[in-house]
Amino acid sequence: MLALELVDRLRGVSPAAANLVMTMALPRIIPMTSGLGIRVEEVSETRSRSRLPLKRRTRNHVGSIYFGAMMTAMEVTMGMLVFRHFPMGPYKALVNRVETDFRAKAKGTVYAVCEPPAEVLASFRESLRQPGDKAQGWVPVRLEAEDGTLVAEARFLVALHRS
C-alpha cells in the first residue's frame, strides 16, 4: 500500500491526524521544504490548503515572505491535490510551466489554496484511462494572507503520465 493511501485511510478516522502526518512527512518527501514551516491544513477531493509562516527562514531582506518560499508552498499544495487523485507509482507528474501574479506583500502567515475547477481533474481522468496515456492541464493556486487578502495567484501547467 502506498504511503498516501495510508494517509487517506487515516483521514477517514481523523483528518487532523492525517494532516499532521503529511506535515511531518513533507520534509522527507521534498527535502527543500525542511525549515520552511509549511503545515498541511486540508486535503480533500476538491481542495488542498497549507500554511506558510513568516519567520527567519522565509523572510526576505524587505521583511516579507521570500518568493521561493511562497512558490514552494503553492507547488506543494497543488501537488497534494493532484497526487490525491493521481498517486505516485501508477502516475508520474511534472510541472512544465508556471505563471504567477503577485498582488500584495506577504507580511505574515499565508495560506496556499488549491481548488481547481472540476473540469480540470475530470479532463485528466478522461485522458489517463490506460498505461502510456498522457495529459496536461492548468491547475490554479491562490495565496492568501490571514485576513483573506489575495497575495498571489499561480497557474501550474501539470503534465501527467500513466505508467
What's the pLDDT tens digit per position in 77-117? 999 999 999 998 899 999 999 999 999 999 999 999 999 99
Contact 42, 51 (CB under 8 A): no
The string of pLDDT tens digits covering residues 129-149 is 999 999 999 999 999 999 999
> Is 80 within 8 Å of 139 (Cβ atoms)?
no
Burial class (CB in 10 A: 0-12, 13-18, 19+), 59: middle
pLDDT in tens, 9-18: 888 899 999 9
Determine the pLDDT at residue 11: 87
Find out whether 81 and 48 touch, Cβ atoms under 8 Å: yes
| Mean pLDDT estimate for the chain | 94
Beta-bridge mates of residue 161 = 92, 134
